[in-house]
Amino acid sequence: MPAAEARLERERRTVDAMIRLYCRDHHAGGPALCEGCEALRCYADARLTRCVFKAEKPTCAACPVHCYRPDMREQVKVVMRYAGPRMILSNPALAIRHMIDARREVPEIPRRRRRSESEKT
């Protein structure tokens, strides 16, 4: 898998793992997420697919664009705050990679994105 795809796929797995951890502990979620967490997972996945940074993507927490709708942004922040510190025990490989990604320099916002207004959907 090319590096760019691998990076986005890792992001996808990280968000998925965090939401699963949160759902398990708060909503008794199992292999299937509760309705709200599944909606959040699908939303995050769609944003990731449309991320203007593509393979240069910073972590969403460090992103200067933040393309999430305000309500979804709040939800994902709650999940991250809970699951972030716990990931080191439940999924150390992804947690460490995420920490490394979080330290990367945030790239400039691509021109295409600067010209257009927010696409928060």
Give burial (CB, 10 Å; 0-12/13-18/19+) of 1. Answer: exposed
Taking the complex as a whole, the smallest distance from the CB of residue 28 to ligand SF4 amounts, in Å, to 29
Interface positions, 57-96, toward ligand SF4 (CB under 6 A) = 57-58, 60, 63, 65-68
Specify the residue, 34 or 48, whose C-beta has the smaller distance to ligand SF4.
Answer: 48
Taking the complex as a whole, the smallest distance from the CB of residue 102 to ligand SF4 amounts, in Å, to 12
Query: What is the rounded CA–CA span in Å between residue 47 and residue 101?
Result: 18
HEC assignment per residue over 22-61: HHHHHHCCCCCCCHHHHHHHHHHHHHHHCCCCHHHCCCHH
Contact window for ligand SF4 (CB under 6 A) among 24-32, 47-55, 86-94, 96-104 = 47-55
Specify the residue, 27 or 54, whose C-beta has the smaller distance to ligand SF4.
Answer: 54
Taking the complex as a whole, the smallest distance from the CB of residue 52 to Zn ion amounts, in Å, to 29
Task: Measure the N-to-C terminal CA separation of the chain; round to a whole number of Å.
Answer: 30
Interface positions, 18-37, toward Zn ion (CB under 5 A) = 23, 27, 29, 34, 37
- CA torsion sign for 47, 53, 54, 59 is negative
Where on the chain is the footprint of Zn ion (CB under 5 A)?
Answer: 23, 27, 29, 34, 37
